[in-house]
């Protein structure tokens, strides 16, 4: 995308094309304007259009330009926060509501993929949260206990079974979550765009929203090429927010995250590395993630930005780490590399904002936006359709607020990841 091989990497090479779209040109009328062509925007637009609502979606760049086209593709159930901590952070009502909704969220993703026949390499084989040492094991055992109390299909695998499933003896155990899975993230969001177009959503790419104003009880949403007049605006711009809703981006601390994809593994290696194709990540503070794509490429990622000195440092570290984790791979070549910005909030939970009357949005998924973005998009649609009142949403209404020392924290994440990987590559 934008001729940058490090923006969307492997996903750009292997995703089916998006629907044909053009920038907005002239003035149009709609019931709802959706701003942002990621999971949140496209899920809300699709569900609204299916209910007979006239929707125009405005995307500043291309479909999937933001996190949706750059991520690891893990369809997670729940957030990073421990299940039993959620009611403490959000209060019992919102805490339980959010837990239940996010625990079930992968089901909606999988149902949409099936319903709209989206070709996006869906794997329903669960995810493995791999324990590093006794501390990591304690963490996943506690997570399993808390989810288990809620009837979730999660179990702790011992070190031998983990080694068999991962293809590495590096871990003390793993939490297998059978609600979760993996997909090709850009293919999924492009598939949602095709489904939305078929349902009647009018999508304009290359159409950055620069301003909004009220005119005779309706909203006028402005872009360089034209304006949309509508009753409602959905703001679905999240970490890649530019232009009119800078406060969405400013509420988050950006954590850079990169991925390298190897060339496709041969048959014998595919039988040894993640033979069950679960998505995986570990319990380290600076975590690593790994998963297979459909063609048998291993996608390996961690915290850091592939720019300036970071490119060489993270690449060396990734080579060295892969050799240690999976010695059977030898000196396997990388075929693609890319990175993106994960939007972190101060309590690691997403946000619901009403920016003005009839202007609403969810954001701040903390690296877990595939299932939550899809499900929150549907909830925004239900809210506008009058099926869910504001008080019944899964998150309380909050005002965007900027965390202290945001710029410093972002520099620290980028530089800290480089320092850790520089040292790690030498051990």
> Stretches 62-70, 270-278, 302-310, 393-401: which one binds ligand FAD (CB under 6 A)?
62-70
Distance CA(230)–CA(218), nearest Å, equals 6
Q: Is 18 in the site for ligand FAD (CB under 6 A)?
A: no
Closer residue to ligand FAD in complex, CB, 268/286: 286
Phi, psi of 134 (to 5 degrees): -65, -35
Q: Tokens 């070709």 appear where?
A: 119
* Residue 78, number of CB atoms within 10 A of its CB: 27
Q: Is 67 in the site for ligand FAD (CB under 6 A)?
A: yes
Provide, rounded to whole angstroms, the least separation between the CB of residue 128 and ligand FAD: 13
Which x/- pattern, by CB under 6 A, does the window 247-266 give for ligand FAD?
Answer: ----------x---------
Provide, rounded to whole angstroms, the least separation between the CB of residue 66 and ligand FAD: 2
Among 74, 105, 180, 417, binds ligand FAD (CB under 6 A): 74
Closer residue to ligand FAD in complex, CB, 195/370: 370
Q: Is 369 in the site for ligand FAD (CB under 6 A)?
A: yes
Helix (H, G, I), strand (E, B) or coil at 13: helix
Helix (H, G, I), strand (E, B) or coil at 173: strand
Distance CA(200)–CA(279), nearest Å, equals 34
DSSP 214-279: EETTEEEEE-SSEEEEESEEEE--GGG--GGGHHHHHTSEEEEEEEEEESPPPHHHHTTSSTT--E
Q: Is 73 in the site for ligand FAD (CB under 6 A)?
A: yes
Q: Is 394 in the site for ligand FAD (CB under 6 A)?
A: no
Helix (H, G, I), strand (E, B) or coil at 368: coil
Q: Is 373 in the site for ligand FAD (CB under 6 A)?
A: yes
> Stretches 58-66, 225-233, 268-276, 401-409: which one binds ligand FAD (CB under 6 A)?
58-66
For 341, the token pair is 């910005």
List, in sequence order, every residue forming a beta bridge with 291; answer none if it has no partner: 299
Which residues of this protein are in contact with ligand FAD, per CB under 6 A? Answer: 35-41, 58-61, 65-68, 70-74, 76, 208-209, 236-244, 257, 340-342, 365, 367-370, 373
């Amino acid at each position: 995308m934008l001729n940058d091989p490090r923006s969307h990497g492997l996903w750009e090479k292997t995703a089916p094309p998006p629907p044909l779209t053009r920038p907005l040109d002239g003035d149009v009328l709609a019931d709802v304007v959706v701003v942002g062509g990621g999971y949140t925007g496209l899920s809300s637009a699709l569900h609204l259009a299916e209910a007979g609502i006239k929707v125009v979606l405005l995307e500043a760049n291309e479909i999937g330009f933001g996190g949706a086209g750059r991520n690891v593709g893990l369809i997670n159930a729940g957030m990073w926060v421990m299940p039993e901590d959620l009611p403490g952070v959000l209060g019992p009502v919102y805490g339980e509501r959010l837990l239940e909704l996010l625990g079930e969220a992968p089901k909606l993703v999988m149902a949409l993929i099936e319903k709209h026949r989206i070709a996006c390499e869906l794997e329903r084989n669960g995810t493995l949260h791999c324990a590093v040492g006794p501390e990591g094991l304690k963490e996943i055992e506690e997570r399993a206990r808390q989810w288990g109390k809620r009837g979730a299909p999660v179990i702790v695998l011992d070190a031998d079974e983990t080694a068999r499933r991962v293809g590495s003896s590096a871990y003390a155990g793993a939490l297998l979550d059978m609600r979760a899975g993996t997909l090709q993230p850009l293919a999924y969001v492009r598939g949602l765009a095709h489904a939305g177009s078929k349902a009647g959503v009018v999508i304009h790419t290359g159409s950055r929203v620069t301003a909004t104003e009220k005119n005779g009880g309706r909203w006028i949403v402005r872009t360089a090429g034209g304006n949309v007049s509508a009753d409602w605006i959905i703001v679905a711009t999240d970490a890649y927010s530019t232009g009119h809703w800078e406060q969405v981006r400013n509420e988050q601390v950006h954590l850079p995250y990169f991925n390298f994809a190897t060339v496709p593994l041969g048959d014998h290696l595919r039988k040894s590395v993640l033979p069950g194709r679960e998505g995986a990540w570990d319990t380290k503070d600076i975590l690593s993630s790994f998963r297979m794509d459909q063609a048998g490429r291993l996608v390996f990622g961690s915290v850091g930005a592939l720019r300036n000195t970071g490119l060489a440092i993270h690449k060396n570290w990734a080579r060295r780490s892969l050799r240690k984790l999976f010695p059977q791979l030898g000196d396997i070549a990388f075929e693609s590399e890319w990175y993106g910005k994960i939007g972190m909030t101060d309590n690691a939970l997403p946000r619901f904002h009403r920016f003005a009357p009839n202007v609403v949005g969810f954001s701040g998924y903390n690296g877990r936006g595939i299932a939550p973005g899809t499900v929150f998009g549907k909830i925004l649609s239900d809210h506008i359709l009058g099926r869910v009142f504001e008080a019944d949403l899964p998150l309380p209404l909050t005002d965007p607020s900027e965390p202290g020392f945001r710029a410093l924290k972002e520099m620290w994440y980028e530089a800290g990841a480089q320092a850790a990987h520089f040292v790690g590559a030498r051990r």
